[in-house]
Chains A and B, each alone.
Chain A
Amino acid sequence: DAKTTQPPSMDCAEGRAANLPCNHSTISGNEYVYWYRQIHSQGPQYIIHGLKNNETNEMASLIITEDRKSSTLILPHATLRDTAVYYCIVREAGGGADGLTFGKGTHLIIQP
């Protein structure tokens, strides 16, 4: 069973903010939300993670709803190089025998 649901694809204009949604309605209290992205022909790249508070780093911001059932990854000023598949992953703290479970992700296409 998929733990997360993401739209298969999204477009965004260059220079605008890209907002990528993720639904994780069955998330449990000790599960973190991670975001990775994979640019074509490269390995996945870690972006950001959070538990319940909003987080921001040099790449992106992560907004998690108060009930933690969904989150949004925000790329504030998208560039063409942000075109990639973005994966939202939930993972429990303190263990888990299956590594990171990647779903199908969202293919974000930045339009010039």
Chain B
Amino acid sequence: KAGVTQTPRYLIKTRGQQVTLSCSPISGHRSVSWYQQTPGQGLQFLFEYFSETQRNKGNFPGRFSGRQFSNSRSEMNVSTLELGDSALYLCASSPLGQSTPNYEQYFGPGTRLTVT
């Protein structure tokens, strides 16, 4: 099976702009989670979608949002970009939802966002 794919791989934006990142999960996986990774804060959970519904959310401001489509593909959007939003954004898919014991996640390569 193909792995998790994320587009674009690299992105440069200016403060105040908005950005949309895309994630295609492994075929058959219905759960998609998003994480932000920065050198200072490490890997932090943003949110999780399952069957087009946001089920879990991390501690991020409302500028960070997402959605999931009927084919399980997901997008995340960041509005009014700040310099601190520069990070590697990782998407992970899982065959099961978070509320199950065996929660294996399969990560994509990430989108490196630079805000100038």
A-B interaction: yes
Residues on A facing B (Cβ under 8 Å): 32, 34, 42-46, 49, 51, 87, 91, 93-104
Dominant secondary structure of chain A at its interface with chain B: loop
Quote the shortest CB–CB distance from B29 to chain A (angstroms).
13
User: How far does the alpha carbon of A101 sit from the alpha carbon of B58 in the complex, in Å?
Assistant: 10
What residues of A have a CB within 8 angstroms of the CB of B42 in the complex?
102-104
User: How far does the alpha carbon of A97 sit from the alpha carbon of B42 in the complex, in Å?
Assistant: 18
User: How far does the alpha carbon of A94 sit from the alpha carbon of B58 in the complex, in Å?
Assistant: 17
What residues of A have a CB within 8 angstroms of the CB of B43 in the complex?
44, 87, 100, 102
Selected from B48, B101, B104, B109, the residue in CB contact (under 8 A) with A43 is: B109
Q: Across the interface, name the chain B residue whose C-beta is closest to A43.
A: B107
Selected from A91, A95, A97, A103, the residue in CB contact (under 8 A) with B57 is: A97
Quote the shortest CB–CB distance from B62 to chain A (angstroms).
17
B35 close to chain A: CB less than 8 A = yes
- Does A43 contact B99, Cβ atoms closer than 8 Å? no
Q: Across the interface, name the chain A residue whose C-beta is closest to B6.
A: A43
Residues on B facing A (Cβ under 8 Å): 4, 33, 35, 42-46, 48, 56-58, 90, 92, 98-110
- Does B109 contact A98, Cβ atoms closer than 8 Å? no
What residues of B have a CB within 8 angstroms of the CB of A103 in the complex?
42
Contacts known (A98-B58, A99-B33, A103-B42); A43 close to B108, Cβ less than 8 A: yes
User: How far does the alpha carbon of A26 sit from the alpha carbon of B2 in the complex, in Å?
Assistant: 38
- Does A101 contact B45, Cβ atoms closer than 8 Å? yes
- Does B90 contact A44, Cβ atoms closer than 8 Å? yes
Selected from B4, B45, B58, B101, the residue in CB contact (under 8 A) with A93 is: B101
Identify 24 residue pairs between A and B in the complex whose beta-carbon atoms are under 8 Å apart, listed by A's number. Answer: A32-B102, A32-B103, A34-B103, A42-B110, A43-B92, A43-B107, A43-B108, A43-B109, A44-B107, A46-B106, A49-B102, A49-B104, A87-B43, A94-B99, A94-B101, A95-B99, A96-B56, A96-B98, A98-B58, A99-B45, A99-B48, A99-B98, A100-B43, A100-B105
